[in-house]
Amino acid sequence: MRILLSAYQCGPGMGSVSQIGWEWYSRMSRRAQVTLVTHIRNQECLTKAGAPLPGSEVIYIDTEWFAGPLYRTAARLFPNSEHAVFLLASGDFFVYDHAVLGQLRKRRADWDIVHAVTPVSPMASSCLHRMGPPLVVGPWNGGLNSPTTFPEIMGADSAWVYRIRDVGRVFDRFFACTKKAALILTANRATDSALPKHARTLRMSENGVDLSVFRPAEEPPPPPGQVPLRVLFVGRLIPAKGVSMLLEAVDRVRDEFPIEVTIVGDGPVKAALERETEARKLAGVVTLAGALPLPEVARRMREAHVFCLPCVRESGGAVLLESLASAVPIIAVNYGGPAEIVDEQVGRALSADGREPLVRDLIAALRDIVANPEAWRQRGLRGRARAEENYGWDARMGTALKLFEGLLERRAVNV
């Protein structure tokens, strides 16, 4: 099968969305004839990773004349809100997408399927259906409303800027992406509800996991009681991730049982979290490890008793899938993407009704792990089984190819 893969963000180790683009390109190239078209900013990373991969081609699109100034302006306007910066800077996608159409039309190449895989937002209304072959977009993950129960956190995250997502609907009226796309892959209920009723959709998580990198420990760590309870957080340090609530919960239980918390990641609120850690006298309990390479993150996962993501606005949750694959149970907020991943079979969902209810639930979960370590270990094992069944990247590629084949068969019947 000849696939034109448009991945605006694409590259290993460049962030979660770029990783999604890389996984689709690198794994689909083993199964089909792939032409990757992507932004010029990804060239250095992709070249280091060996692109173009055997049997594939890579085409780079340069819109830095627009993307660079747009990003710098957004960063100046919102120095503490990475998501706001991302939303504003994403306006370059429409310039990129139009440039892709113009450049590829000149090539007169013949593809069976056009797949626009990143960005993963419903804002990313593509005009590539004009190429001719069936257009598949997504998996899209977006449309999640901001919770009203955490006003201070969402205010610090400049949540009002999220309304810029509505611009995507305006572009969709011009580009007719949701109307003309042969299939839109959607990650969750929020995305489904954000799309027009005429959209042809199918549910598929935008994230996957490398089951060989994230795997269970050969020997699980000694249970809490024999060693301190090991809690792990991995993610960007931004207000919405809710790490301050984790620190509060740990502060309130540290006299009950030994506990060690490792916070992996970097971001604009790291300094504030360091100050809070010092103010709460948690220096011997909490370690802010900074950003770490993926293999090291995987190792930290295997050493943990539980993974905690107290994020109050998470559309997806790639790190949750990594935790499942590592056979580590999860504590996460019952809102957005985590609400569709985390249940009592694999962890514990926390209240999304406000800071105090969330912290209270988090404290109860930490106490329960110490009191019932075997039950929580079983949650981790069930999580690994779920990851193997639903979230492995290679299985995802096989599913996608079957979908593409079905689209081509239906098209042949209708011709």
Task: Lay out the sheet containing 229-234: strands in order across.
Answer: 286-290, 259-264, 229-234, 306-309, 330-333, 347-350
Q: Determine the pLDDT at residue 179.
A: 86
Quote the Cα angle for 250-309-144, to 5°.
140
For each of the domains in the chain, give its residue range(s) and CATH number, in order of start: 2-208+392-414 (3.40.50.2000), 229-390 (3.40.50.2000)
Sequence-distant (6+) residues with CB within 8 A of 47 are none
Other CB atoms within 10 A of residue 88 CB: 19
The token pair that represents 275 in the structure block: 């100050």
Q: Determine the pLDDT at residue 212.
A: 92
Q: Determine the pLDDT at residue 156.
A: 65
pTM of full prediction above 0.85? no
* pLDDT by 10s per residue, the chain, length 415: 999 999 999 999 888 889 999 999 999 999 999 999 999 999 999 999 999 999 899 999 999 998 888 888 878 877 766 666 676 777 888 899 999 999 998 876 789 999 999 988 877 788 899 888 999 998 988 767 777 787 787 676 555 555 555 566 666 666 667 888 999 999 888 888 878 888 889 988 888 899 999 999 999 899 998 999 999 999 989 888 999 999 999 999 999 999 999 999 998 899 999 999 999 999 989 999 999 988 999 999 999 999 999 998 887 788 999 999 999 999 999 988 898 899 999 999 999 999 999 999 999 999 999 999 999 999 999 999 999 988 999 988 999 999 999 999 988 776 5
Report d(CA 236, CA 311) in Å as an integer: 10
Q: Determine the pLDDT at residue 380.
A: 96
The token pair that represents 23 in the structure block: 């996984």
For residue 69, the SS3 value is: helix
Bridge partner list, 2: 33
Sequence-distant (6+) residues with CB within 8 A of 158 are 78, 80, 81, 83, 84
Sequence-distant (6+) residues with CB within 8 A of 59 are 35, 36, 37, 38, 103, 104
Report d(CA 303, CA 298) in Å as an integer: 9
Quote the Cα angle for 164-169-175, to 5°.
125
Q: Determine the pLDDT at residue 199.
A: 84
The CA-based dihedral angle spanning residues 163, 165, 170, 175, taken in that order and rounded to the nearest 10 degrees: 180
Quote the Cα angle for 114-185-164, to 5°.
95
Q: Determine the pLDDT at residue 107.
A: 77
